[in-house]
Structure 1
């Protein structure tokens, strides 16, 4: 996994966690859902990069 891609995926996950937490604390269901979406996006990016790495090894 490229360093930049790894950082980008983790940044999305962290941003999502913060949004979800703020949304939960303020009873903002929209912000909470947006945070969950950002986390999912980060996990998906991370998974795609892991698959790319598997094929690069061959």
Structure 2
């Protein structure tokens, strides 16, 4: 596992936590922020997978 994949996984977990917290507190901006973090994490993870294949 390379740095990009690990960072992507961390961002996805962080995003899920923010999203759940936003739902719990009825804070739509936190929900949106969490979804953005999850999407960013998925992109980073994909980049990491491509780098692994090319190495």
Structures share fold, TM-score greater than 0.5: yes
- Aligned 1:9-20 pairs, distance under 5 A: 9-20=8-19
1:54 aligns with 2:26: no
Larger Rg, first or second structure (1 or 2): 1
Mark the runs of 5 or more structure 2 residues left unpaired by the alignment.
none
Q: Which residue of 2 aligns with 1:33?
A: 32
Cα offset, 1:9, TM superposition: 1.3
| Cα distance in 2 for residues equivalent to 1:11 and 1:53 | 18
What value does the CA root-mean-square deviation take over the aligned residues?
Answer: 1.1
Name segments (4+ residues, structure 1) moved above 3 Å. Answer: none
Unaligned segments of structure 1, at least 5 residues: none
Number of residue-to-residue matches in the alignment:
55
Structure 2 counterpart of 1:7: 6
